Amino acid sequence: MSAGRGSTQPASAQPRWLEIVTAVQRDPEGAGLGACLCRECDLYLGADASSIALVMDHAYSLVAASSNLAVVLDEEQFMLGEGPSFDGARSDVPVGTGDLGSDRWARRWPGFLGFAQRAEVQGAFAFPVRVGEARIGVMTAYRRGGGELSTQAYTDGLILASVAATLLLRAQAGTEDGGLAQEFAQGVNDQANIQRAAGMVAEQLNLSVLTALVRIRATAYARGLPLNVIANQILSAELTIEP
Amino acid sequence: MTTNDTAIDLADLPWAGSLASAFAWFIHAASDGLDTVDLLTELAQRCVEILPVAASGILVVDQFGGLRVIGSSSDSAQLLELFQIQNEEAPCLECCRTGQAVFVHDLSAMARRWPRFSAEVMGEGFTAVYALPLGSQHKIIGTLNLFATSTLAADVIASAATLADAATLALLRVDPTQDEIVMARHLYDAVESRNVIEQAKGMLAQRFDEDPDAAFRRIQSMAHASGVSLARVARAVVDRREAVLSDIPLD
């Protein structure tokens, strides 16, 4: 957009949303919708890793990620209960920064900051995936380098998150009542042991399941282990959470 | 991939929140069945509310291939667009014909090209005009026209283009009968029921010192006995009110 004053300047040949929808639906290798969304999120937002996840009540389940970096950064946030993706899933507007280490953001997400720094990630931008008032999940772009998103990247993120909501729901629309689209099944199944462990701990300590989930997260964090490792230790009675 | 390198702080962009809300609003409005005129009027109004734009208006291609004004932020913008149609000279018409955005950063420099239009627009106090296409390259449904009292920054134009995209996306819905809110609810229920069943399995396995499969069979037989779904039995177990399962109405 560098046209001089007074000139008429043609913009791109097709509207941005159409370009993005077309790009997302390009899937020559049959990678699946989630993978295509993350691939385009990397490209359009200049991200080093992207993820898309369902977040419903207190349950997080991964739909897809463009690399393992995004998986661990996502999981860390939902274990800690803080971070841009965690907040973005509950927000009406995008949440994120290109400078996680700055005072303002370090105060907001102190736990996540340490983890992001070890992973050498300076920026994280989370876009709510929602349809009207219905929250579905969150799409997150992680960047190793610092710096904020350009206006174009920001608006592309809005378009991608909206496209994600539409296409993911369309995938779900093809399933039978009560069924789960292929795009979601794996991530939800991966959560099964965590949910079951929460039920066990709730029964052992006479807590609500939600409180039990918080206790499991805190234990995972304190021991520096992934949530599902802790969950498996609880299920096999290898680990008992103290009252 | 980006056409604009202006670095901005996501959280500090003055209209970032409004832009995201407006975008969501358009997508939501379409699934609510809001009609075209209302939606496009809203687009014109949001541009003026959110962005440093003095006036805005929407022109659409009617069924006979002519152009008509469908929504505008003010009477003055409406007058201007009527004027354009009558005179068949102006950036909006060019945008509609070519499907490409037209930026006129300084109208005085374009007075020779569009003499009557320029005189009229400048007479209203505007110095810059922008026309953004609505629709796709293959099907232009109209244009979003912005009138400003100074050159608009690239940020502002990109934001307006995003709003135009949202409105177009809403208008060109491939399958407008599909109710996404209902689908979102179904997805939520499907995920939630799987989670709550696992939670209940964990609780019962612990309580009766049995394996998860045995716990699941226990949930199944409770569901069978009380005539409600597995998910509702599981919810009752998790909420520790399975004793009143028999009071749950049939679903």
| pLDDT score recorded for residue B19 | 75
Per-range mean pLDDT, top range of A94-108, A175-189, B163-177: A94-108
What residues pair up with A198 in beta bridges, in sequence order? Answer: none
Q: Do A16 and B162 touch (CB under 8 A)?
A: yes
∠ CA A139-A144-A149, rounded to 5°: 60
- pLDDT tens readout for residues A144-157: 999 988 888 888 89
DSSP B113: T
A86-111: average pLDDT: 92
| pLDDT score recorded for residue A172 | 85
Residue A14: band (very low, low, confident or very high) from pLDDT cuts 50, 70, 90 = low
Nearest CA-CA distance, residue A97 and chain B, Å: 7
Token readout for A164 is: 């994600």
Q: What is the ipTM score, two decimals? A: 0.82
Q: Do A134 and B185 touch (CB under 8 A)?
A: yes
| pLDDT score recorded for residue B31 | 57
Q: Cα–Cα distance between A72 and A53 in angstroms, integer?
A: 12
Q: Do B8 and A152 touch (CB under 8 A)?
A: no
- pLDDT tens readout for residues B27-75: 666 556 667 777 888 888 888 988 889 889 888 877 666 777 777 787 7
Burial B108-146 (b: 16+ CB within 10 A, else e): eebbeebeebbebbeeeebbbbbbbbbbbeeebbbbbbb
∠ CA B18-A143-A108, rounded to 5°: 60
Token readout for A180 is: 């789960």
Residue A190 scores a pLDDT above 90: no
Q: Do B187 and A170 touch (CB under 8 A)?
A: no
Per-range mean pLDDT, top range of A17-21, A199-203, B49-53: A199-203
Token readout for B161 is: 């283009």
Q: Do B8 and A150 touch (CB under 8 A)?
A: yes
| pLDDT score recorded for residue A144 | 97
Residue A126 scores a pLDDT above 90: yes
A190-205: average pLDDT: 94
Average pLDDT, chain A: 88
Burial A164-181 (b: 16+ CB within 10 A, else e): bbbbbbbbbbebeeeebb
Residue A138: band (very low, low, confident or very high) from pLDDT cuts 50, 70, 90 = very high
Residue A48 scores a pLDDT above 50: yes
| pTM of the predicted protein model | 0.72
Contact residues on chain A for B164, CB-CB shorter than 8 A: 15
Q: Cα–Cα distance between B62 and A121 in angstroms, integer?
A: 51
Give pLDDT < 70 ranges for chain B: 1-15, 27-34, 63-65, 77-87, 136-138, 170-180, 244-251
Please state, as a whole number, how many other Cβ atoms lie within 10 Å of the Cβ of residue B8: 19
Q: Cα–Cα distance between B116 and B99 in angstroms, integer?
A: 23
Interface membership of B235 toward A (CB under 8 Å): no
- Which one of A15, A56, A197 has the shortest CB-CB distance to B136? A15
A212-237: average pLDDT: 91
A94-114: average pLDDT: 94
Side-chain half-sphere CA neighbours of A57 within 13 A: 16
Contact residues on chain A for B104, CB-CB shorter than 8 A: 6, 8
Q: Do B100 and A10 touch (CB under 8 A)?
A: yes
